[in-house]
A and B are shown apart, each in its own frame.
Chain A
Amino acid sequence: MLIASDVTKEYMSGEQKLAVLRDVSFTIPQGAFVAIVGPSGSGKTTLLGLLAGLDTPTRGTVVLDGADLGALSENDRARLRGEKVGFVFQTFQLIPTLTALENVQVPLELRGSDGAVERARELIERVGLRDRGHHFPMQLSGGEQQRVAVARAFANSPRILFADEPTGNLDHATGQRIFELLQSLNSESGSTIVLVTHDSTLASRASRIIRLLDGAIVEDTGAPPSVPA
């Protein structure tokens, strides 16, 4: 369960205070598939960073599985990410000096889990890259790289997975396949998936859509119906 309450994020832009997010609140139950949409500059990526504990809000709280992320230290948040959170990025963000297989091993090795190699091999097969495991990222196509990234995201069986424009750098067909992969892994593992995108067709396939504009929620298809004033 992920609960955001009155989350506000402000930056100093020169002398001026700039609110990128304003009083954003919602609750995402375990296992949901949520898409966050909105135009450029609406605060999608900032919100993702806050939900994943990569950053802390200026005001408000983000509670992931009972842990208030804002109250944790940077290293405790890192540990929490290592245990419960997975990431897929628009630019794949594979470590260029490691092979595909080794990239998948990283989260497991950081936790010191046993059997990292077996688990990584299993996942690489699951995303259909059995023969490409020993290739370096630059030897793989964009779609293949993103599949490695998905395998890495699921390596530690995360409770929640954040995907930032996962298909943004891919052609339409490849994007579709990545999306389907995410969907099937979501149903297999029971992980929550939070997807940031401005591709409305993709978003429409999520179970819930949260739409942002200028740092505030303008639509939430999964929110309890508001009581008309």
Chain B
Amino acid sequence: MTGSIWNLAWRESRTARRRLLLYMSSISLGVAALVAIDSFSANIIQSVKDQSRALMGGDISFNSSKPIPPAVDSLFDSLSRHGVAFARVTTFPSMAVVPRTSGTRFSQVRGVTDNYPFYGKITTEPAGRWKLLQQGPYAIVDPSLLTTLDAKVGDTLKLGFGTFTIIASVADVPGAAGIAEMLGPRIFIPARYIAETQLLVFGSTADRTVLARIPAGTDPDKFVKPIKTRLESQQVRVRTVTQSEMQTADAIENLSDFIAIVGLVALLLGGIGVASGVRAFVARKIDTVAVLRCLGASSGQVLTIYVVQAAAMGLVGAAAGVLLGVLIQFALPHVLTGFLPIDVSVSLVPSAIVEGLAVGGWIALVFALRPLLALRNVSPLQTLRRDTDADVLRMRWTDAPRIAVNVGLVASVIGIALARARTTKQAFAMSAATGMAILALVASAALLSWAARKGLRKRWPYVMRQGVANLYRPGNQTRAVILALGFGAFLVSTLYLVQHNILHRFTVAAQESRGNVVFFDVQQDQGAGLDSLIRAGGHQIVQTAPVVTMRIAAINGKRVSDMLPVQRDQRGRAGWALRREFRSTYRDRPAASETIVAGKWFSDSSLRAPKDTGEISMEEGVAKELNVKLGDVIVWNVQGVEIPTRITSLRKVVWTRFEPNFFVVFAPPILKGAPNQLVLLAQVRDERQVALLQRAVVNRFPNVSSIDLSAIKRTVDRIVERVSLAIRFMALFSLAVAIPVLFSAVSATRRARVREGVLLKTLGATRGQIARILLAEYSLLGLLGGLTGMVLSVAGGWAVVRYIFNMPFAPPLLPIAGIALVIVALTLLIGLLAGRDVFRETPIAALRDA
């Protein structure tokens, strides 16, 4: 018996398959989003796993901003007798000069020992030069350095007081260069020639990394465990390959959280589209079902026939979505080139594909079930006497299967949210927000119907009255259209709001910066000379700040060396902040890029003369990491001298503003006299002037580095551009989801509409009058749907920006209004397209059909 029903279901779907598939395609784009996102992030995570050794260059990295202490060196010596190999990389900034072209460029120099790297391959152009690097005073540089300095292989390169020969450019280093190169191109030199540059003087910025390769089969985490505390007490940071994997994965989590929500919402929107599409489908099937009932079909058999059809088409729709998702997955790396910190190798992810099929098929089925249930109630009597579609399909609220399907629907949404969100709380918040959005839309649809009924005035022209009356008459489409429209508008506009808020922050902050060239590593005795050199060129010095390096010795009387390191996510004082080297400054006024958020700026007395316990102002983020508050006492170790201070204010710092910013600012009298360096921020007119000034400075002060901030800003702009492109793509994508959904929503009541329109035509209504009736109805629907969607999106955007990205939120009202207008226009267009059938059909055909 079941076999025959399946046959019947298959045959009966014959002409309806295309239409049903069209409705089910609403789900496709949502599935495509899910599959693309899941597959691509799986690819990223796998790539991170595959490449983390190559990215790091070893199994374990030991890292310090000071020369490696002798005690640690002897520890390494003893380990190397047990089969552990070590390679060293010293990274420091320097101005690179090519005398032949007299070009200068801020660069990152990496002095490496001959066994670097242990993992991954560095290839060069011309090929095979990497192994020659150690044979003399040679340099291998990023290609961008050659371009900007107009240099070529074979040229002489000056770094500080050292002279090197460029023997090759880098063709490929593990990990994509994009962001790494932002601060300055890389220059690899042999470690033993670092001293010749004379750049590593007291207080200069440098990073010493020792990479270890441990015997195969040894777990890096277990290996470092016994020595970790000892090393950290010597201010040597230890990181293993597994830790760095986790960090990279964490870094992409925020973004993927956001995209996961978008995927879920797109899927739900698709579900709504399926529901209204299937409603239209069900209306067309009333007559067939009535005949089947006459011929002895039970309600269960009828339901089986159409559920089988819907499930099959839902699966096909989901499969199409999977295919599209995979295509997007393969396209993504091209869009994101230079933005991701690794080379992502793209491959099919079976679990994502199966999940996309299952989730998409299931959502399509659950959303289709709701309207399909109405077919059970179609009476065989309809063969003799046909009621209106709306009357036939009416269901009672108390209908048990209907309640069960509703519960199943809610459970499915929560279930999928639970499976996708990182925390249960987030999943429930997401589900609740979605539920609230739907409720708000249903409420506003009810409001519109109510207002249309109450507001209708007899004196209005007929077409207007008819159009408005369509909003509340029996079997109206107000709720279906408002739901589809509002949800679509909500999705598109939320994406826009989030993009706007995240990116706006970067660009505005960068533009506000008053200077564009920063000079650092300036020794105390060079300050005056540099100052006059800059001014002599007619440039302006915006800010000069002394920099004093220091570490925390004690907090509230407790020595740092006695404090237990605190793990991530635990309450307490973060290890990195306790052990880091602080580069602090002193000044008598807050800088333009910072605002006091707690306490008061330094008192007059503390500005005049040093006290026993000096006053400091701390950046709020680092204060939180250190778990300190106003009034706490911190003792600093400033190059051997202990200086007690009290926190008297907390500052909020706009870090994205390209200016020298500091975690800790001291009241001047305490630090005056401490050995320091200087940072200068200058405003220089154009690119050529910047190059000239940089060259002049490097000639006179080879140890002083300078960064052209406008160049960095351009790079940031490029990255921001990429991200906006990606988000705009998603917004467009959601709009693409919304269109078929809207079509489905409109087609649900199409038959009734055509019949009525044709009747009006028979009674003498002109095309124009019918068009105006539709116009009145759809513009009201579009306006209210768009408006509700906008209000919802402001709430949704605020929640996403505030809680996922932890940023302040400001809605840009004008563009949002623009989106609303586009939505209204789209609704009108779709409404009038749907109305085309009214014009096309002859009165006689429609009346005979009715």
Contact = CB atoms under 8 A, between A and B. Distances in A.
A107 B1 CA distance: 12
Contacts of A80: 296
Contacts of B12: 95, 97-98
Interface string A149-180: 00010001000000010000000000000000
Contacts of B379: 54-55
A106 B8 contact: yes
A75 interface: yes
Given A93-B383, A112-B1, A112-B4, A78 B14 contact: no
A110 B288 contact: no
Contacts of A82: 295-297
Contacts of B8: 106, 109-110
A95 B292 CA distance: 9
Interface in A60-94: 74-75, 78-83, 85, 87, 89, 93-94
Interface string B350-367: 000000000000000000
Interface residues of A, number: 34
Nearest to A87: B294
Interface in B257-308: 287-288, 290-301
A48 interface: yes
Contact of B380 (A45, A54, A83, A96): A54
Interface string A30-55: 00000000000000010011001011
B240 to A, nearest CB: 65
A87 B16 contact: no
B504 interface: no
Q: Is the interface of B mostly helix, strand, loop or mixed?
A: helix
Contacts of B685: none
A81 B300 contact: no
B497 to A, nearest CB: 46
Interface string B698-742: 000000000000000000000000000000000000000000000
Contact of A45 (B290, B298, B299, B384): B384
A11 to B, nearest CB: 11
B337 interface: no
A135 interface: no
Interface string B747-762: 0000000000000000
B679 to A, nearest CB: 79
B295 A97 contact: no
A134 interface: no
A205 interface: no
Interface centre among B292, B296, B385 (most CB of A within 10 A): B296
A52 B16 CA distance: 30
A130 interface: no
B11 interface: yes
A81 B291 contact: no
A210 to B, nearest CB: 18
B561 interface: no
B381 interface: yes
A144 interface: no
18 contacts: A49-B384, A54-B294, A54-B380, A75-B299, A79-B296, A80-B296, A82-B296, A83-B296, A93-B290, A97-B14, A97-B15, A106-B292, A107-B296, A109-B8, A112-B1, A112-B3, A116-B4, A156-B296
Given A75-B300, A112-B4, A116-B4, 15 more contacts: A49-B385, A54-B383, A54-B384, A75-B298, A78-B297, A78-B298, A78-B299, A82-B297, A89-B383, A94-B291, A96-B15, A96-B288, A102-B11, A106-B292, A111-B1
